[in-house]
């Protein structure tokens, strides 16, 4: 006899509805599963069999064929276990087929019959068009996020059967787990005596300008990057949902209250591989760190230590806001619109290239030049030198503004950007930028001098204008941009010149 059970699998960060068809017929006892299952999926047989047997049910000693439709798409993970087990029961006529109508089932089975959570329940739930969704008890809050279904949570297959057969009512929904959004690492008030670094963080948050921090170890680069996230405004619902989907698909915990509303901070170590950073992997294609940082901050500490081929992979996502991972099984599009914050020590001796004080040899400096130069450096609109602050200011000194004060300014600046039709000034390009950021004559003169002296390129001027516009927005000034705005943007754009030319 034939049974059909609705379920879903994960394809990248998208859910894909799957129909699990189970056919049980007379013949030598066997079990085959077709329709491009991966290894975890194929092993559903053993888990489902053991789960049914240990729940007091029987496993038919007949020929069982399972088809996962649509059969042309690769199915990954153990989320189809529950559907396979129920399909076998129906096809073996241990359960009436009407019980499964209008319901979809997602969950992994333990050998004892327990129903366990699987990654990606949010996108899977979004893909399922039926009214009722049966998911593992521990993942109810993820499935409920979508808000379209009657979500049922079950902890054991026996409980599920009791509820399906009407012997007991559906178990009440469990309280959401206490997974809170990670608290901000600290307040910006802790960053003292580094006005340009503080301003750079504020401008980066307000304008979505990528930020490069150049400074010796212990100067507070990491501290600053962590606090930058706290300056970003909370995510709106569509953005929050996108971020939540990526996190769910990657199997990361989703906050108990529902959506990820605080912009995420991802800080991969410099040993991260290309696949870990941009996504991919054999078998299940997973989103990478840049997608987990979607609508948040990607912090790359010790930028110079990342292999250059890995860094080059960031260029295209930085432009397009997403990344396409092509594999033999198909291509996967992951969202990746993030604020890139990077930190590096510009030379090995830690003097940060202070003229006359840097003790590094020409060769060592040249190696750093080569790492820094090129198109990736160009993506950083903000580059500031972060030095160890004076000791007097570390241990006391005047109080600095707190994160909440700065975040409020950032929010206002973002509202001005929204009025220009972009979420942040960093996205302004060409004609839109010209219209949004006219220059007062003193500002124009300053830029012209910079161009004449070869300090700025034409592209550099455009990026500088966008930054200057953010500076003006933060100060609450209306365009045209003044010399102060442009000069501030210039000060936040250190050109790391590592080997002094001698005009020879």
Q: Where does this chain bind other proteins (CB under 8 A)?
A: 193-197, 199, 214, 346, 353-359, 362, 383-385, 387, 389-390, 393, 446, 449-450, 453, 455, 471, 475, 483-488, 490-491, 494-504
As a whole number of angstroms, the distance between CA 467 and CA 428 comes to 10
| Token duo for residue 72 | 């042309």
As a whole number of angstroms, the distance between CA 229 and CA 225 comes to 7
Measured from the CB atom, the residue of 106 and 384 that comes closer to other proteins is 384
Measured from the CB atom, the residue of 72 and 355 that comes closer to other proteins is 355
Measured from the CB atom, the residue of 40 and 471 that comes closer to other proteins is 471
| Token duo for residue 389 | 């602050």
Residue 336 vs residues 33, 295, 361, 411, 503: alpha-carbon distances, Å: 35, 8, 39, 22, 43
**Distance in Å, CB of 83 to other proteins, minimum:** 60
Measured from the CB atom, the residue of 269 and 497 that comes closer to other proteins is 497
Residue 11 sits at φ, ψ, to 5 deg, of -130, 100
Measured from the CB atom, the residue of 229 and 472 that comes closer to other proteins is 472
Measured from the CB atom, the residue of 62 and 463 that comes closer to other proteins is 463
Residue 59 vs residues 47, 88, 226: alpha-carbon distances, Å: 12, 8, 54
Measured from the CB atom, the residue of 338 and 368 that comes closer to other proteins is 368
**Distance in Å, CB of 304 to other proteins, minimum:** 15
**Distance in Å, CB of 211 to other proteins, minimum:** 14
Q: Do 191 and 233 form a contact (C-beta atoms < 8 A)?
A: no
**Distance in Å, CB of 291 to other proteins, minimum:** 32
Q: Do 60 and 66 form a contact (C-beta atoms < 8 A)?
A: no
Measured from the CB atom, the residue of 291 and 488 that comes closer to other proteins is 488
Total count of residues recorded for the chain:
504
As a whole number of angstroms, the distance between CA 499 and CA 163 comes to 74
Measured from the CB atom, the residue of 235 and 384 that comes closer to other proteins is 384
| Token duo for residue 395 | 């241990």
**Distance in Å, CB of 226 to other proteins, minimum:** 20
**Distance in Å, CB of 228 to other proteins, minimum:** 17
Specify the DSSP element, H or E, that contains 359.
Answer: none
**Distance in Å, CB of 190 to other proteins, minimum:** 16
| Token duo for residue 328 | 């033999």
As a whole number of angstroms, the distance between CA 331 and CA 328 comes to 8
Specify the DSSP element, H or E, that contains 181.
Answer: none
Q: Which residues contact 141 (CB under 8 A, 6 or more apart)?
A: 176, 177, 254, 256, 258
DSSP category for residue 101: T
**Distance in Å, CB of 279 to other proteins, minimum:** 34
What is the DSSP code string of 394-431?
HSSSSPPPPHHHHHHHHHHHHHHHHHTTSSSGGG--HH
Q: Do 132 and 150 form a contact (C-beta atoms < 8 A)?
A: yes
As a whole number of angstroms, the distance between CA 142 and CA 151 comes to 10
**Distance in Å, CB of 445 to other proteins, minimum:** 8
The three-point CA angle 83-84-88 to 5° equals 115
Q: Do 339 and 324 form a contact (C-beta atoms < 8 A)?
A: no
Measured from the CB atom, the residue of 376 and 490 that comes closer to other proteins is 490
**Distance in Å, CB of 378 to other proteins, minimum:** 16
Measured from the CB atom, the residue of 354 and 370 that comes closer to other proteins is 354
For 282-321, strand residue ranges (E) read 286-287, 297-300
**Distance in Å, CB of 491 to other proteins, minimum:** 4
């Amino acid at each position: 006899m034939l049974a059909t059970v609705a379920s879903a699998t994960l394809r990248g960060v998208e859910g894909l509805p799957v129909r699990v068809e189970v056919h049980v017929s007379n013949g030598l006892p066997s079990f085959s599963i077709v329709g491009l299952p991966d290894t975890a999926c194929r092993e559903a047989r053993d888990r489902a069999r053991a789960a049914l047997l240990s729940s007091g049910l029987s496993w038919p000693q007949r020929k069982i064929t399972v088809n996962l439709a649509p059969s042309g798409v690769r199915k990954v993970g153990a989320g189809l276990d529950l559907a396979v087990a129920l399909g076998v029961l129906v096809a073996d006529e241990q359960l009436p087929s009407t019980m499964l109508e209008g319901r979809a089932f997602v969950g992994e089975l333990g050998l004892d019959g327990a129903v366990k959570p699987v990654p990606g329940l949010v996108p899977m739930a979004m893909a399922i068009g039926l009214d009722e969704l049966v998911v593992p008890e521990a993942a109810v809050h993820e499935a409920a996020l979508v808000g379209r279904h009657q979500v049922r949570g079950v902890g054991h297959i026996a409980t599920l059967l009791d509820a399906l057969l009407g012997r007991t009512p559906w178990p009440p929904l469990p309280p959401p787990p206490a997974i809170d959004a990670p608290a901000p690492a600290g307040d910006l008030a802790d960053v003292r005596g580094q006005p340009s670094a503080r301003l750079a963080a504020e401008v980066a948050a307000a304008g979505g300008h990528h930020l490069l921090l150049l400074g010796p170890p212990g100067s507070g680069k990491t501290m600053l990057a962590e606090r930058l996230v706290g300056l970003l405004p909370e995510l709106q619902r569509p953005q929050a949902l996108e971020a939540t989907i990526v996190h769910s698909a990657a199997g990361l915990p989703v906050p108990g209250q529902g959506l990820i509303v605080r912009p995420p901070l991802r800080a991969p170590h410099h040993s991260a591989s290309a696949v870990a950073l941009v996504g991919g992997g054999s078998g299940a294609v997973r989103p990478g760190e840049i997608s987990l940082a979607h609508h948040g901050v990607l912090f790359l500490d010790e930028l110079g230590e990342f292999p250059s081929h890995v860094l080059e992979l960031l260029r295209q996502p930085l432009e397009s806001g997403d990344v396409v991972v092509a594999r033999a099984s198909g291509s996967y599009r992951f969202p990746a619109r993030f604020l890139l914050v990077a930190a590096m020590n510009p030379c090995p001796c830690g003097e940060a290239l202070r003229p006359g004080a840097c003790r590094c040899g020409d060769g060592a400096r040249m190696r750093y030049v080569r790492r820094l130069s090129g198109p990736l450096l160009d993506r950083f609109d903000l580059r500031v030198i972060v030095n160890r602050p004076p000791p007097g200011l570390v241990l006391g000194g005047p109080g600095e503004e707190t994160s909440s004060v700065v975040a409020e300014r950032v929010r206002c600046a973002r509202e001005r950007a929204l009025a220009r039709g972009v979420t942040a000034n960093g996205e302004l390009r060409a004609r839109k930028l010209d219209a949004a950021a006219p220059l007062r004559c003193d500002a124009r003169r300053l830029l012209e001098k910079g161009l004449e002296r070869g300090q700025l390129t034409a592209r550099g001027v455009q990026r500088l204008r966008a930054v200057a516009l953010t500076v003006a927005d933060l100060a609450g000034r209306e365009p045209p941009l003044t010399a102060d705005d442009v000069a501030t943007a210039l000060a936040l754009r250190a050109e790391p010149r590592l080997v002094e030319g001698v005009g020879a």
